[in-house]
């Protein structure tokens, strides 16, 4: 249980993956999508490995057909985050995925940035590019992140399939982000091992890594991550659902915390994984984290947030 009055920080969640079965049903009926109904929607939310999950992510994302759908889903997500006492969230959005399903990237991002929901949850966007698709798409998405930087976008994410497109292919992207002073947030070490986490640090200069659990197999790398204050956004439910961590085994977050690596807990795709930060905390406790460790995770998240130093400290004081 989170102590009375304390807040949570959520650094890694994807808007498209925040759609719950009820949200998917609503959108399916709005667009008369055949094949998704009360009887079949459960299949979209039961994943058997990474390939299965990615297919489901695409199907749910395909139900977002116009900018208003993105804004509607954002509003629902923010209400859920507020009910979980989340004070601050960084929300990833994937314009190239929208585009595959007919939703124009620029109007979609413009609508999200213009929505400016006011409430208990302070939030910013990270534009997430899909690494295994064409380079021009990544360049276009980085351009969108820069275009909307002053309107709610705080960083650029490198997401997608790291096995198909490892970190060593993206030195050019890291250089472009550095030149523009745009923070680059890299998914790495989700399905692959320590060499990919090290590659994200060495080749891309990553200070924050999505997942990073591959590092848990390498004590030398864990010591290095701790020493260099590299932050890992750990998403336990996601790792079990995609098969990155086998069911029935303790989650490696326990090992990472034991080696003093800076980690935070996140939901990744809270709708598709039917999870919440409270559930992620329960899994982390089963992996050996104490209440003090959970508080430290929230403090580490606050200090790794894409905010000005004063705002980070203020946030750290709330968790
Ligand atoms: Zn992710």
Residue 2 has a pLDDT of: 58
List, for residues 86-140, the tens digit of each pLDDT value.
Answer: 999 999 999 999 999 999 999 999 999 999 898 889 999 999 999 999 999 999 9
Quick check: is 33 in a domain? no
Instruction: Find out whether 277 and 63 touch, Cβ atoms under 8 Å.
Output: no
Asked, for residue 31, whether it belongs to a domain, the answer is: no
Length of the chain: 319
| pLDDT score of 4 | 63
In a domain, 100, yes or no: yes
pTM score, two decimals? Answer: 0.96
> Would 288 be classed as within a structural domain?
yes
Per-residue pLDDT, 3:
62
How many whole angstroms separate alpha carbon 58 and alpha carbon 100?
9
CA 123 to chain centre: 13
Domain span including residue 205: 8-20+70-316
Cβ neighbors of 97 (< 8 A, separation 6 or more) are 16, 57, 58, 61, 130
Dist. CA 68 → ligand 1 center (Å): 23
Tell me which residues of the chain have a pLDDT lower than 50.
none
The rounded Å distance from CA 267 to ligand 1 centre is: 9
* Burial of 207 from C-beta contacts in 10 A (0-12 / 13-18 / 19+): middle
**Span from the CA of 13 to the centroid of ligand 1 (angstroms):** 6
Distance 11 CA to ligand 1 centre (A): 10
The pLDDT score that the predictor gives to residue 212 is 97
Report yes or no on 219 lying in a domain: yes
In angstroms, what is the span from residue 97 Cα to ligand 1's centroid? 14
Ligand 1 midpoint to CA 126 (Å): 11
Is residue 304 assigned to a domain? yes
Given 3-state DSSP classes, what are the helix, strand and coil percentages for the chain, each rounded to the nearest 5? 50, 15, 35
- Alpha-helical (H) ranges within 105-183 are 105-115, 135-147, 171-180
Catalytic positions:
190
Looking at residue 73, its pLDDT comes to 98
Please tell me the distance between residue 137's alpha carbon and the centre of ligand 1 in angstroms. 18
**32: region left, alpha or beta (phi > 0 left; psi from -120 to 50 alpha):** left
Report if residue 61 sits inside a domain: no
59 inside domain: no
The CA–CA distances, whole Å, from 122 to 82, 213, 274 equal: 10, 27, 23
Q: What is the distance in A from the centroid of ligand 1 to the CA of 46?
A: 18
State whether the Cα torsion 101-104-105-111 is positive or negative: negative
Q: How many domains does the chain have?
A: 1
Supply the CATH number for residue 156's domain: 3.20.20.140
């Amino acid at each position: 249980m989170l102590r009375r009055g304390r807040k949570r920080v959520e650094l890694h969640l994807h808007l498209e993956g925040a759609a719950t079965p009820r949200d998917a049903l609503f959108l399916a009926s709005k667009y008369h999508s055949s094949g998704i109904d009360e009887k079949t929607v459960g299949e979209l939310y039961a994943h058997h490995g990474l390939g299965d999950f990615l297919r489901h992510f695409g199907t749910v994302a395909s139900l977002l057909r116009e900018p208003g759908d993105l804004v509607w889903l954002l509003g629902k997500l923010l209400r859920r985050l507020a009910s979980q006492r989340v004070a601050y969230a960084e929300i990833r959005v994937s314009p190239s995925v929208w585009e595959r399903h007919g939703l124009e990237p620029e109007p979609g991002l413009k609508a999200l940035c213009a929505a400016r929901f006011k409430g208990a949850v302070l939030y910013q966007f990270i534009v997430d590019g899909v690494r295994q698709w064409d380079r021009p798409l990544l360049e276009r998405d980085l351009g969108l992140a820069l275009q909307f930087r002053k309107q709610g976008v705080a960083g650029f994410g490198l997401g997608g399939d790291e096995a198909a497109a490892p970190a060593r292919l993206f030195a050019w992207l890291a250089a472009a982000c550095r030149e523009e002073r745009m923070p680059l947030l890299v998914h790495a070490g989700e399905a692959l091992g320590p060499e990919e986490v090290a590659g994200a640090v060495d080749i891309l200069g990553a200070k924050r890594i999505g997942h990073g659990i591959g590092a848990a197999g390498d004590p030398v790398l864990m010591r290095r991550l701790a020493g260099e204050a590299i932050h890992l956004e750990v998403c336990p439910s996601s790792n079990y659902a995609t098969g990155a961590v086998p069911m029935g085994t303790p989650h490696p977050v326990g090992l990472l915390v034991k080696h003093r690596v800076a980690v935070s807990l996140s939901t990744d795709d809270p709708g598709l994984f039917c999870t919440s930060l409270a559930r992620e905390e329960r899994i982390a406790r089963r992996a050996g984290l104490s209440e003090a460790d959970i508080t430290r995770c929230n403090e580490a998240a606050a200090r790794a947030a894409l905010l000005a130093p004063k705002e980070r400290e203020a946030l750290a004081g709330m968790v």
